[in-house]
Amino acid sequence: MSINQPVVAIIMGSDSDLNIMQAAADILKAFDIAFELTVVSAHRTPLRMVDYASKAKDRGLKVIIAGAGGAAHLPGMVASITPLPVIGVPIKSSNSIDGWDSVLSILQMPNGIPVATVALNAAKNAGILAATIIGAFDDSVSKKVSAYKQQLEQEVMAKVDKLQNDGWNNTYDVH
């Protein structure tokens, strides 16, 4: 995989979403997956969105992660234009109804236009899912994803051992 050629796009409806979407960028960096990150608003820059989505595959992108809050049309609109897999990240924005509007806008896509959807503000999971998709065709990325999952298992097992050895009432403040 070329370091200079992005294979994953991270797009968001506003730069105010960057504090959430940064987690996708961080995990892709950890897996050494080249990505690009930009703002593409479905409502404020619809022509840019159409241009971006329609040219994404020809530019060498393999997966698009699209984060959006409020009405959250960006992931679905991009998915309707590109043949690439789109992972939607619902974001609890300042004008959001506890994030449910974003979740449902992305989750409830009509048949024929699927968008993979992660949990509210779960950009890290979107990055891991993108890496998993890339890893299906790239053994080096697949090995990094497997190692990451093994690390998670080791962290949990260390907590199991601590709880077993120290006891729950000596380990955790339950008050």
Annotated binding residues for substrate, written as ranges, equal 14, 17, 44
Can you tell me the distance from the alpha carbon of 155 to that of 149, in angstroms, rounded to the nearest whole number?
10
N-to-C CA span, the chain:
51
For the annotated binding site, the residues are: 14, 17, 44
Q: What are the distances in angstroms from CA 101 to CA 26, 88, 105?
A: 26, 13, 6
Q: What are the distances in angstroms from CA 70 to CA 42, 85, 92?
A: 12, 22, 7
Do 95 and 71 form a contact (C-beta atoms < 8 A)?
Answer: no
Question: Which residues have a Cβ under 8 Å from the Cβ of 158 and sit 6 or more positions away?
Answer: none
